[in-house]
Amino acid sequence: MIAVIGLVLGILVGLVFSPDVPPAFQPYLPIAVVAALDALFGGVRAQLEGVFNDRVFITSFLSNVVVAALLVFLGDQLGVGSQLSTAVVVVLGIRIFSNAASIRRAIFKA
């Protein structure tokens, strides 16, 4: 519940202030957002399955974001930034999908 409140609060803050992304972060923010979404879906799934753990959520959230950003950074340095970004997004997308499927099963029992 508090997580939902935080999410809404963050969206509101973002809407109110609508800051510009610093150019240095621009390539990494979308990937970081997708990684965080993956962590969020994982958290929701764990919550529904009754195995939610704050510590696991926080750790997975932060590590997801950092690893995704690092991968993109590394890809940019190696000249395969766009391909690696795509790869990261694909992998995270698959994970989000499987988590969403689990959530669906937990909610609708189907």
- Indicate which single residue of 37, 48, 87, 89 sits in contact with other proteins (rule: CB under 8 A): 37
Whether 79 and 42 have beta carbons less than 8 Å apart is answered as no
Token reading at 47: 């919550």
Element (H, E) at 104: helix 81-108
In angstroms, give the least distance from the CB of 14 to other proteins: 3
Does 50 sit near other proteins (CB under 8 A)?
Answer: no
Does 41 sit near other proteins (CB under 8 A)?
Answer: no
Q: Which is nearer to other proteins, 30 or 91 (CB)?
A: 30
Token reading at 24: 């240095």
Residues within window 83-102 making contact with other proteins, judged by CB under 8 A: none
Total Cβ atoms within 10 A of residue 39: 23
Whether 49 and 102 have beta carbons less than 8 Å apart is answered as yes
Query: What residues make contact with other proteins under the rule CB under 8 A?
Result: 2-15, 18-21, 26, 29-30, 32-33, 36-37, 40, 43, 54-55, 57-58, 61-62, 81-82
